[in-house]
């Protein structure tokens, strides 16, 4: 019954259920001749759970889902009711009329559901068949949810819930005529837990450290990125309603909403992974979920060197730049690794500095003890209460920060960020979507115009040139590896043109054919130019180290 995990069936009934082999027998007596056992007097009255355990073996022997499941619903319900009456009379017990009706409905739905699964079309070309656990999951999920207290289940840890579900699924599988081995039963329990506590078919990919991005394009197409390459998985949601239920779980956990009035949303998971969701009517082929996973391991510049993301000399220069409080802009395309690099740079900030981070969906991993994390808020149902990135940047200036870190500069907040960099908040960091350093500066200029300031272009460019010291360009290349392709210093402004000088670059020598799996051939090189911030490095006692890195 709903609200309980199910009591153990009597020993005799359990034994009977275990030994009974499902299969068709001669049809039970016609319902018109059957006298409902609940009308007879002198019989002991039992609960619905006890009655279900008593009659389940008889139902399994008397009905075959392949044949009986296709009978007219009314005819099949009458036959099931007659078989229930006969089985209970043989045991010398009876049930309440309401319990008898629920028993008939329970076994009726089970037979019809099993029949539909058996008649399902085979997988199409290129599509893998369901495993036994996945097939059983589709069949028993409704019955499991009907017999448990969902609130109590949500409060349990995974281990306790797995134990309870393990006790519950055995009788349900027997009722459905399904036989699973121990490994398949464990897989079934895991699928049920993922549905009840996690993100359903997406949950295994969240636990897989080799997966960096998860993309669900509707219920039946789930893609992941591994080692920089996209691959389609065999995982799928049951239907669009199942996918929307998981979406609702994601957004409500962070106090946001998604519906026809607000069909797109940015959110985050409990581990910090970033989620973007868009639903119909904006998404024409069904809801779409994009998850950028939160790295479990802390990434620093030395690890990025080991991974081939940059050279050791480039890492040294970036460490010096962060130490001497240069304002650094990380530029790159979507999925290029901007946030990862920003996290690595932030590890160079001293532990005694006060840091304020500003993001749409919090995903930065700062290790310092004095960090204030701010996150934007969308408008409510009435269109009120929105808090934008610009609101947070302006508020951060009143919080006495030593450094301000903006997860992504993409709108009117650019003008406030530039003003912060120009008014004593040295060492601030941010990311921006752009494919080249020069393009990053152009985008900044356009964002200032978005803020509604009617400033001459020369004045805007002068402010950018004095605010930004270093642009670090990062890109994901054809072999899937993310590399720092340029470290460029902003040296000033001449006329109306912001002047730049490149300090390091990645020189590509050969690119692999698409899908070949081979690495991009190239090398990281220093241009030999002396940066303008060399004097600041010398004042900090890092001049010799900088000269060695640039040599």
pLDDT averaged per 10 residues, the chain (length 551): 42 39 43 44 77 84 80 87 90 88 81 62 49 70 71 75 79 73 79 80 87 91 87 87 87 79 82 86 89 78 92 95 93 89 90 89 80 85 81 89 89 87 86 94 90 83 93 90 94 92 90 63 91 93 92 83
The helix (H) or strand (E) run that includes residue 451 is: none
Give me the pLDDT at residue 18, please. 38
Give me the pLDDT at residue 122, please. 47
The secondary structure of residue 124, as a DSSP letter, is P
Q: Look up residue 228 and give its two tokens.
A: 């920089």
The secondary structure of residue 202, as a DSSP letter, is G
Give me the pLDDT at residue 114, please. 64
d(CA 77, CA 286): 36
d(CA 391, CA 171): 57
- Helix (H), strand (E), coil (C) string for 232-261: ECCCCCCCHHHHHHHHHHHHHHCCCCCCCC
Give me the pLDDT at residue 118, please. 55
Q: Is the separation of the CB atoms in 406 and 358 below 8 Å?
A: yes
Backbone angles phi, psi at 75, to 5 degrees: -65, -45
CA 376 and chain centroid, separation: 20
Beta strands in 361-463 (DSSP E): 371-375, 403-406, 429-433
Beta strands in 262-363 (DSSP E): 264-268, 274-278, 288-292, 328-332, 355-359
DSSP-derived pairing of the beta strands 429-433 and 403-406: parallel
The helix (H) or strand (E) run that includes residue 523 is: strand 521-526
Backbone angles phi, psi at 385, to 5 degrees: 85, 5
Q: Name residue 223's beta-bridge partners.
A: 215, 232
Q: Is the separation of the CB atoms in 416 and 358 below 8 Å?
A: no
Query: Counting every residue, how long is the chain?
Result: 551
Q: Look up residue 343 and give its two tokens.
A: 């996290």
Q: Look up residue 293 and give its two tokens.
A: 């996973």
Q: Is the separation of the CB atoms in 418 and 329 below 8 Å?
A: no
Give me the pLDDT at residue 17, please. 39
Is the torsion defined by CA of 176, 177, 182, 187 positive or negative? negative
Q: Look up residue 108 and give its two tokens.
A: 């009726």
Which residues have CB under 8 Å from 241's CB, separation 6+?
A: none
């Amino acid at each position: 019954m709903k609200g309980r995990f199910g009591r153990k069936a009597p020993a005799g009934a359990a034994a009977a259920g275990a030994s009974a082999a499902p299969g068709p027998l001669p049809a039970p007596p016609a319902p018109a001749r059957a006298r409902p056992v609940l009308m007879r007097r002198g019989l002991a009255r039992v609960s619905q759970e006890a009655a279900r355990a008593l009659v389940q073996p008889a139902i399994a022997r008397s009905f075959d889902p392949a044949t009986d499941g296709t009978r007219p619903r009314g005819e099949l319900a009458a036959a099931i009711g007659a078989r229930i009456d006969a089985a209970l009379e043989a045991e010398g017990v009876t049930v309440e009329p309401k319990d008898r009706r629920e028993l008939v409905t329970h076994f009726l739905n089970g037979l019809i559901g099993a029949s539909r699964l058996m008649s399902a079309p085979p997988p199409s070309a290129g599509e893998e068949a369901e495993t036994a656990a996945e097939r059983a999951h589709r069949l028993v999920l409704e019955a499991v949810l009907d017999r448990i207290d969902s609130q109590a289940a949500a409060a349990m840890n995974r281990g306790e819930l797995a134990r309870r579900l393990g006790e519950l699924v055995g009788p349900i599988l027997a009722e459905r005529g399904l036989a699973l081995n121990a490994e398949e039963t464990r897989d079934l329990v895991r699928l049920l837990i993922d549905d009840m506590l996690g993100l359903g078919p997406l949950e295994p990919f969240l636990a897989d450290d080799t997966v960096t991005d998860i993309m669900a394009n509707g219920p039946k197409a789930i893609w992941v990125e591994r080692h920089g390459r996209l691959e389609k998985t065999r995982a799928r949601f049951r239907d669009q309603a199942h996918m929307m239920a998981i979406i609702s779980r994601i957004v409500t956990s962070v106090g946001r909403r998604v519906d026809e009035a607000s069909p797109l949303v940015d959110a985050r998971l409990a581990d910090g992974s970033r989620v973007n969701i868009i639903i119909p009517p904006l998404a024409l082929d069904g809801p779409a979920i994009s998850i950028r996973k939160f790295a479990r391991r802390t990434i620093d510049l030395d690890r990025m060197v080991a991974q081939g993301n940059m050279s050791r000399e480039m890492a040294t220069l970036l460490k010096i730049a962060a130490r001497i409080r240069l304002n650094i802009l990380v530029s790159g395309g979507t999925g290029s690794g901007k946030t990862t690099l920003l996290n690595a740079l932030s590890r160079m900030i001293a532990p005694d500095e006060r840091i304020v981070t500003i993001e749409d969906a919090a995903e930065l991993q700062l290790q310092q003890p004095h960090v204030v994390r701010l996150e934007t808020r969308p408008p409510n149902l009435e269109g009120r209460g929105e808090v934008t990135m610009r609101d947070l940047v302006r508020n951060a200036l009143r919080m006495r920060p030593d450094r301000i870190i903006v997860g992504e500069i993409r709108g009117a907040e650019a003008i406030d960020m530039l003003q912060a960099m120009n008014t004593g908040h040295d060492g601030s960091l941010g990311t921006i979507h752009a494919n080249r350093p020069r393009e990053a500066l152009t985008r900044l200029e356009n964002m200032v115009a978005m803020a509604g300031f009617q400033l001459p272009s020369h004045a805007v460019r002068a402010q950018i040139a004095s605010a930004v010291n270093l642009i670090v360009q990062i890109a994901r290349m054809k072999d899937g590896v993310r590399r720092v392709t340029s470290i460029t210093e902003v040296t000033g402004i001449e006329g109306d043109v912001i002047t730049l000088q490149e300090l390091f670059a990645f020189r590509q020598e050969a690119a692999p054919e698409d899908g070949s799996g081979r690495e991009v051939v190239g090398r990281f090189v220093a241009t030999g130019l002396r940066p303008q911030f060399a004097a600041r490095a010398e004042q900090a006692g890092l001049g010799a180290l900088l000269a060695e890195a640039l040599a």
